[in-house]
Amino acid sequence: MGTSALLSLGMKAMFANQAALQTVSQNIANANTPGYSRQQAVLTTADGQFTGAGFFGKGVNVETVVRSHNQFLTREAASSKSLAFMDSTRHAQLQQLERLLPPGADGLGQAANQFLNAMVDVVSRPADPSARQVALGRAQEVAARFSSAGVQLADLQAGVVSDLRANIDVVNQLAKQIATANDQIARTTGAQHSANDLLDKRDQLISELSQYLQVTTLPADDGTVGVFIGGGQRLVLGNQAQSLTTTPDPYDNARVRLSITEASGARVIDESSLTGGSISALLTYQNRDIQDARNLIGQMAMALGTRVNTQQSLGLDLSNPPGAGAPIFDLGPPRALPAGTNARNPDGTYATNIDLKIVDPTLLPAASFVLRPVVGNPGQYQLTQRPDGAPEAMTAAQIEQRFGIRIVQSGAPLADTDSFLLEPVAEAAAGMRRILDSTNGLAVASPITAVNNSANKGTMTVESLYAVNSKLDMSKVPMSVQFGAVNPADNTVAYSITMSDGSVVNGNWKAGSTIGNEPLAGIDLGFELRLNGVPRPGDTLDISATKFPAANNSNGKAFLNLQKENMVGRVLLADGSLSRGATITDAYASAMSDIGARVQGAKYLSGVSSAVASDAEKVRAGQAGVNLDEEAARLMQYQQGYQAAAKVLQAGQKIFDELLQLSQR
């Protein structure tokens, strides 16, 4: 062997250690670069050369540079990050929603109570304009708070749409960059070496994309990866990227849906197929949380406003001459929104129109429905609670009986493909305002008055008498109520009501019960008479039309009783009976509890998923990340190797020089 072999060995050793030093330097330089995977030079022993004295080594080869990468850990880190961003986004959004339903004096329930409490002074001084003005001021505050909540919900909805569009723009940019990285990687595949930095860049882009949408990846033979969303929908394939976009909700242009642009147009992606990322959280927040809040607040506004207006209409105001009370509140109307694909007339108007009328506000649900025809049965509708209720076939009469909504259909019959979004209460709060300005317009007086007969022997006195519904027939006034004997079995007192037309109604009274409004006994005369004390047989009451409304406060007492009335969310049970429902205060407390529970649940999930994502990233970084202590040790190792290789070259050079000198002698 000549000195050339020794020189070759030294040169190869120097080159190998230089390559290793360069790789270590690259690691140190990118120690804090997000997504960077530690690289390592792969050194292999060159095949030995056979001689008569055996095999002699031919040095070292630099095979390639590999990166420390684990596909499973990388995928798990991206997946857990997607869930963490979904949970944290929903938690942040729900916190904004929670602020619309504050507890205590700032809440909607307290405002409603203060309005009804203000009627106490009006009842004490029915003709006092200052007391009436305070009550109207409280009514204005109630309307303003409900309206403000409704407007803020609309603003939150607009904010969600803006956030969705901003997120989608980022996703589209990331998808294009991934497609570009795929193309660059595919071009290097034929070199038989991995484009480490490009692979890191692509993995980092996919990780960033996971913040917005849960993705799955599928590697291809050419080194590219396909990126899929929504349970298999292609977003990136090779060097081609699809674009996401927002399309209007088919019923309500204020809301949007996520769609993907294809050659045939935009195709909607089912929300339920998106299981992670901030976009999934925003869609859930839009379609469930905001909509539920609108319906909960609207249900309360519609129940309170309609019930107050109804009681107001049953009393007498202080106008001249006295008349039935005008409405105190105006409310956002119920809506039936047609789908954009519904059949149309030649002039572009919809062929079929549906209007909603509120029949019983106490039955109104805090929900929205999609209404479709039942194919082959024009007398029935298919009603589906939005967003994911089970469809149910019902007639218009059944819908009215169950939900207190009357469906008024006009125009052509419903086509098989027609559908409508029914929102009985969603706009009630946003459109709520006080429309009664005159203090004399408060109908505090009852249209009828009860007077004890001076010859009565019992302790009976009149606690209150006011109209409760439109069945009060003033043509049958005056009336006379006569009490009979006490039934010792249940301590009830028999009574009879004789009306001006000679008709008679018989019933039984006991302490705490009412007269004139006894649904269980089949008595509904449109008024409710409450007594204190106990009548004796033969005692009578005379009921006549109210002559001096300024001195009568009975309808004001009816307003006070609304605080304890279960006017919200009554439900028709399977046996035909109605559930109790809730007072306006209880309904507001229930709404706060519902939103609060969602906030706490989202907070817990956000904490858990963030911890899982952090742990997954630590595990991935533990394998793929750069440890500066390790790199410093390797730096010294390869530096010493380089120096030793230089010594080999130096020795070879010296031997070569000696040989040259010998040859010259």
Does the N-terminal peptide bond of residue 478 adopt cis geometry, omega within 30 degrees of 0? Answer: yes
Enter the tokens of residue 408.
């008024």
Enter the tokens of residue 409.
């259909």
Query: Could you give the CA distance from residue 80 to residue 421 in angstroms, rounded to a whole number?
Result: 36
Query: Could you give the CA distance from residue 291 to residue 387 in angstroms, rounded to a whole number?
Result: 9
Q: Strand, helix or coil at 603?
A: helix
Enter the tokens of residue 328.
């105190």
Note whether 148 and 204 are within 8 A (CB).
no
Note whether 34 and 18 are within 8 A (CB).
no
Q: Strand, helix or coil at 627?
A: coil
Note whether 358 and 302 are within 8 A (CB).
yes
Helices within 189-316 (DSSP H only): 196-210, 278-284, 291-313
Segments making up each domain of the chain, as ranges: 3-68+625-664, 288-439
- pLDDT (0 to 100) of residue 357: 95
Phi-psi region of 346 (alpha: psi -120 to 50; beta: other; left: phi over 0): alpha
> Which positions ≥6 away from 597 have C-beta within 8 Å?
none
- pLDDT (0 to 100) of residue 148: 94
Note whether 156 and 293 are within 8 A (CB).
no
The DSSP 8-state label assigned to residue 288 in this structure reads I
Residue 312: how many other CB atoms lie within 10 Å: 23
Note whether 405 and 358 are within 8 A (CB).
yes
Secondary element (H or E) of residue 375: none
Query: Could you give the CA distance from residue 19 to residue 23 in angstroms, rounded to a whole number?
Result: 6
Tell whether the torsion through CA atoms of 12, 17, 23 and 25 is positive or negative: negative
Secondary element (H or E) of residue 621: helix 584-624
Tokens 């509890």 belong to residue: 593
Q: In 12-126, at which residue ranges do the beta strands (DSSP E only) sit?
A: 39-45, 49-51, 54-56, 60-67
- pLDDT (0 to 100) of residue 191: 63
Query: Could you give the CA distance from residue 665 to residue 630 in angstroms, rounded to a whole number?
Result: 53
pLDDT profile of the chain (665 residues), mean per 10: 68 83 86 85 79 74 84 88 94 92 88 90 91 94 94 94 95 95 84 80 92 92 89 89 93 92 86 90 94 94 94 92 92 94 92 94 93 88 91 93 93 91 94 94 93 88 90 91 88 90 90 86 89 90 91 90 90 85 91 93 94 90 84 85 80 74 70
> Which positions ≥6 away from 663 have C-beta within 8 Å?
none
- pLDDT (0 to 100) of residue 63: 82
- pLDDT (0 to 100) of residue 2: 54
Note whether 514 and 529 are within 8 A (CB).
yes
> Which positions ≥6 away from 185 have C-beta within 8 Å?
195, 198, 199, 202, 223, 224
- pLDDT (0 to 100) of residue 665: 60
- Residue 16: exposed, middle, or buried by beta-carbon count in 10 A (0-12, 13-18, 19+)? buried
Amino acid at 296: L
Helices within 125-211 (DSSP H only): 129-188, 196-210
Query: Could you give the CA distance from residue 479 to residue 499 in angstroms, rounded to a whole number?
Result: 4
Query: Could you give the CA distance from residue 410 to residue 460 in angstroms, rounded to a whole number?
Result: 55
Amino acid at 615: D
Secondary element (H or E) of residue 339: none
User: pTM of the entire structure?
Assistant: 0.86
Query: Could you give the CA distance from residue 338 to residue 252 in angstroms, rounded to a whole number?
Result: 9
Query: Could you give the CA distance from residue 506 to residue 490 in angstroms, rounded to a whole number?
Result: 17
Q: In 318-474, at which residue ranges do the beta strands (DSSP E only) sit?
A: 329-330, 335-338, 352-358, 369-374, 377-385, 392-394, 405-411, 420-423, 433-434, 448-452, 461-467
Query: Could you give the CA distance from residue 217 to residue 174 in angstroms, rounded to a whole number?
Result: 14
Phi-psi region of 452 (alpha: psi -120 to 50; beta: other; left: phi over 0): beta
Phi and psi angles of residue 581, each rounded to the nearest 5 degrees, phi first: 80, -165
Which of 419, 416, 397, 417 shows the shortest CA–CA distance to 408?
Answer: 397
- pLDDT (0 to 100) of residue 59: 78
Note whether 602 and 90 are within 8 A (CB).
yes
Helices H / strands E in the chain, number of each = 11, 28
Query: Could you give the CA distance from residue 30 to residue 67 in angstroms, rounded to a whole number?
Result: 13
